[in-house]
Amino acid sequence: MADTEDKGKIVVVKGISQYNVLNFAAEQMAKSFEGYGYRVAVLDGRSMLGKEAEILSQEMNDNGKFIFIFNPIFYDTMVNKHASLFDNLGCPVFTYLVDSPYYHIERLEHVNNHKIYLGCVDYNHVTYINRYHANIRNAVFLPHFGFRAPVDIPYGQREIDLYFPGSYADPQKRAKDIDELPDVLCHIARVLIPELLSDKKLTLDRALTKYLDSIKFDYEANDIPELIYALVCVDQYIRDYHRHSVITEILNAGISLTVSGAGWSGLKEQYPRYLNILSEEGLDIEENLTVIVNSKILLNILPNFQNGTHERVFTAMMNGCICLTDDNQFFKMNFEENKEIVYYDIDNLKRLPGIIQDILDQPAKAVGIAEGGRQRIQGEYGFDNLAKQILSFMGCEK
């Protein structure tokens, strides 16, 4: 009997990951690639320091198809004075960028390998890369994934009413970072913040260029990433501001909220009765799934993703939770309100406590929404389908 034809090897590299989310996702992606008949080598990038080129070259010489990584790790690893690691290797690389590119600008500028593909979780991220990072030639949209817990708990038996897995930071502390910027940058930040808060569809790069145009400032496209890098604290402030506003609106209404993640202890002092902290350090993703599957509602606050996805949304829906999230263009177009998902208006938070109470007071309706979301998301945002899309992007047989 003839041996099965070798479809080749995919090299999956893990890195540093908060709450082990991305490393767990890398392992799931590796299993999906294997399911399509590929050999997969899973490497720990932290153990490769100083030997990256040697190890990756050896793996890719074994009929390697491409390297898969989350976020642009190794982009700024230089093998000599003139070439980055991936430029030197010259092999295909798929980078799954699951956060805003604003937080990876320094790394993104170091590569010029035309075989690099960058999967972005927001269509606006694709637009930003295409406009301002000409060295990245293949930016594509790839939605977030969702994790499924190994067990399920019927909705009516779940013990946690409302859960938010994520950290907290006082926006006033971030405002101090802005105050410490050089005078010109501080002034720009103070102009941009109210613009961004008043228009949730506006991105930081678009707000910045709009302002520069208004003062007739002469700039080149490659100036924008440098300015964004210096002003990324503005994006962080907007994230922190919205998170603080949503959380305190809920707690001020006397609604109990369970959380896990860093930074909550100060808020606990203000709301000792209603804020329940499971872990100040945060939970490993596998531990977190056991909490999610025991929750009726999972709260999501989008991190300035105006036309994209988030893992919290899909993980909630995959595990039979009602996902309660602020809306954006992508979710509005793809998920039906009050049948698959529940939206709140970030600009009208006074209605949020009532939305939560209505869900909790109508369990039959809530079960319908939770199951509608679960059915809607089955397969489409799982790792097998995402792996299939990645193989297609990379020109590999599925």
Q: Domain for residue 2, yes or no? A: no
Task: Give yes or no for residue 134 having a pLDDT over 80.
Answer: yes
Q: Domain for residue 3, yes or no? A: no
Average pLDDT value for residue range 218-240: 98
Largest CA distance in the chain: 74
Q: Cα separation of 165 and 352, whole Å?
A: 18
- Same structural domain, 178 and 59: no
Q: Domain for residue 64, yes or no? A: yes
- Same structural domain, 388 and 316: no
- Same structural domain, 179 and 246: no
The two tokens of residue 363 are 């369990």
- Give the helix/strand (H/E) hosting 296: strand 295-300
Q: Cα separation of 310 and 345, whole Å?
A: 17
Residues 6+ apart with CB under 8 A from 272: none
User: Residue 35 to residues 38, 380, 385: CA-CA distances in angstroms?
Assistant: 7, 16, 11
- Same structural domain, 180 and 299: no
Q: Cα separation of 241 and 246, whole Å?
A: 9
Calculate the CA 167 to chain-centre distance: 14
CATH number at residue 388: 3.40.50.2000
Phi–psi pair at 150, nearest 5 degrees = -70, -20
- Same structural domain, 214 and 312: no
Q: Domain for residue 177, yes or no? A: yes
Question: Is residue 180 exposed (0-12), middle (13-18) or buried (19+ Cβ within 10 Å)?
Answer: exposed
Phi–psi pair at 49, nearest 5 degrees = -55, 125
**CA geometry: angle 275, 25, 39, nearest 5 deg:** 170
Instruction: Give the type of residue at 82.
Output: H
Q: Cα separation of 363 and 40, whole Å?
A: 44
- Same structural domain, 208 and 161: no
- Same structural domain, 307 and 163: yes
- Same structural domain, 266 and 334: yes
- Same structural domain, 330 and 300: yes
pLDDT at 3 (0 to 100): 57
Average pLDDT value for residue range 287-306: 98
**89 closest CA partner among 55, 139, 122, 132:** 55
pLDDT at 4 (0 to 100): 73
Span 316-354, pLDDT tens digits: 999 999 999 999 999 999 999 999 999 999 999 999 999
The two tokens of residue 324 are 């309660």
Tally of domains within the chain: 3
- Same structural domain, 207 and 327: no
Q: Domain for residue 55, yes or no? A: yes
Q: What domain range is 243 assigned to? A: 155-171+236-377
Q: Domain for residue 4, yes or no? A: no
Q: Domain for residue 165, yes or no? A: yes
- Same structural domain, 277 and 161: yes
Output the pTM of the full model. 0.96
The mean of the pLDDT values for the chain is 96
Span 83-97, pLDDT tens digits: 899 999 999 999 999
Task: Give yes or no for residue 1 having a pLDDT over 60.
Answer: no
Q: Domain for residue 208, yes or no? A: yes
- Same structural domain, 180 and 263: no
